[in-house]
Amino acid sequence: MQIQEVVKQLEDGLNGLRKFAHVEAPVLSRAYAPGKWNGFQIIGHIADSDLVLYYRFLKAVSEEGAPIVPFDQDRWASELSYTERPLPVSLATIAAVRLGFIHHVSTLPVAMLQRKAFHPERGELTALAIAEHAGDHALHHLEQLEAIREGKTWSPKR
């Protein structure tokens, strides 16, 4: 994916998530399907995933070849009480991280964006690939959030 496309994904995700700032709590308390995360959990997950991905991105750019560690998203959702986290906290986290991503992806030399870090399950990842994953990840979850807002069940398109 080209740099401009990654930046657009990151911006689109941020703009899409900002639209949920005024969605009422009873709506965000709903899940998109039985046994799945509710809106608060999804937004909390995006916030923390963005933080992890941004850290990985910075490691790749600044410490080429550095190891990056996996995290247990379900455990984080439970232990960090995503259902109790205030929505403005998650949205502010997302905004700050995405603005950092957008700045770096837009301004760093291409050679730096091609630097790699090593993930034990996914192997070598370039900094740009990590940023792309962050962009795609939020857009995927935005589909679920839109289904929640509309009171519909969501299922993967793929």
What per-residue confidence (pLDDT) applies to 43?
97
Measured in whole angstroms, the distance separating CA 86 from the mean position of its chain's CA atoms is 17
State which residues form the domain around 16: 3-150
**pLDDT reading at 102 higher than 80:** yes
What per-residue confidence (pLDDT) applies to 158?
61
pLDDT classification of 157: cutoffs 50, 70, 90: confident
The structural domain count of the chain equals 1
What per-residue confidence (pLDDT) applies to 1?
76
CATH of the domain at 10: 1.20.120.450
**pLDDT reading at 30 higher than 90:** yes
Torsion of CA 104, 13, 155, 38, to 10 degrees: 100
Domain membership of residue 138 (yes or no) is yes
Average pLDDT over residues 130-157: 93
Sign (positive or negative) of CA dihedral 82, 84, 86, 89: negative
**pLDDT reading at 6 higher than 80:** yes
Per-residue burial over 78-100, b if 16 or more Cβ lie within 10 Å, else e, is eeeebeebebeebbebbeebbee
Digit-coded pLDDT (tens) for 103-122: 999 999 999 999 999 999 99
Domain membership of residue 128 (yes or no) is yes
Digit-coded pLDDT (tens) for 47-70: 999 999 999 999 999 999 999 999
Q: What is the pTM of this model?
A: 0.94
105 vs 54: CA distance, rounded Å: 11
What per-residue confidence (pLDDT) applies to 4?
95
Domain membership of residue 156 (yes or no) is no
Domain membership of residue 157 (yes or no) is no
Domain membership of residue 158 (yes or no) is no
What per-residue confidence (pLDDT) applies to 155?
84
